[in-house]
Copies of this chain bind each other. A is one copy, B any other.
């Protein structure tokens, strides 16, 4: 249990490398979805190269350990899948003013009923509005 990051790599049958461990630790520590740039910042002065970060994230997404989402802009955000249930990710909230995105973990909504013949992989809910802090600031 000491190193959850190593454990995750093991379960995904990926080699243990410094860049991958650093990326997973950043995601484990975060409570919001992170961009490549935020991950690089989190991993300190000798952060992995951005190509490595993107490639690692792609592998983790393929292994279904990480979810990728396009929230309020054209920058991909990544987060560990461990707070999501099989077909549903927790909702995300983005403030129109401060542009911060947060996870509404614990909240769930019924799955939408799809038309006949369709199968669901994942339902995502994204809400935008004004967060509490910005409400008070104005």
Contacts and interface: CB of A to CB of B under 8 A. Distances in A.
A73 interface: yes
A74 interface: yes
Interface residues of A, number: 37
11 contacts: A74-B74, A74-B75, A91-B112, A93-B114, A96-B121, A104-B115, A107-B112, A116-B132, A118-B131, A121-B130, A123-B127
Contacts of A72: 70
| Residue from A72, A75, A125 whose CB has the most chain B CB atoms within 10 Å | A125
A110 B75 CA distance: 28
Interface of A: 70-76, 91, 93, 96, 104, 107, 109-110, 112-132, 135-136
A125 B122 contact: no
| Residue from A73, A96, A118, A121 whose CB has the most chain B CB atoms within 10 Å | A118
A98 to B, nearest CB: 12
B126 A118 contact: no
A94 to B, nearest CB: 10
Nearest to A95: B118
Contacts of A104: 112, 114-115
A115 B74 CA distance: 26
